Amino acid sequence: MAENPDNKIDEEIERLTGMVRDEAILAQQDRIQKEVEDSNALVSERLPLLILKEEYQSDPIYSKKIEDMNASFPYIRKTRGDGNCFFRAFGFAYMEKLLSDKAELHRFKEIIEKSKDTLISLGCPSFTLMDFHDTFMEVVNQLEEKPSLSELVATYCDQGMSDYLVVYLRLLTSLELQKEAEFYQNFVEGNRTVKEFCSQEVEPMYKESDHIHIIALTSYLGVGVRVVYLDRGENQKVNHHDFPEGMPPQIALLYRPGHYDVLYGD
Active centre residues (catalytic): 82, 85, 259
Whole-angstrom CA distances from 253 to 64, 93, 184 are: 19, 8, 23
- Supply angle C-alpha 57, 76, 158, rounded to 5: 115
**Residues 66 and 226 sit within 8 Å (Cβ to Cβ):** no
Q: Which of these, 192, 166, 178, lies nearest to 123 by C-alpha position? A: 178
Q: Is residue 238 packed enough to be buried (19+ CB in 10 Å), middle (13-18) or exposed (0-12)?
A: buried
User: Residue 239 belongs to what H/E stretch?
Assistant: strand 239-243
Q: Which of these, 88, 92, 144, 158, lies nearest to 113 by C-alpha position? A: 144
- Supply angle C-alpha 220, 203, 28, rounded to 5: 140
Whole-angstrom CA distances from 47 to 18, 51, 52, 78, 163 are: 46, 8, 10, 8, 23
Q: Which residues contact 108 (CB under 8 A, 6 or more apart)?
A: 94, 98, 140, 221, 223
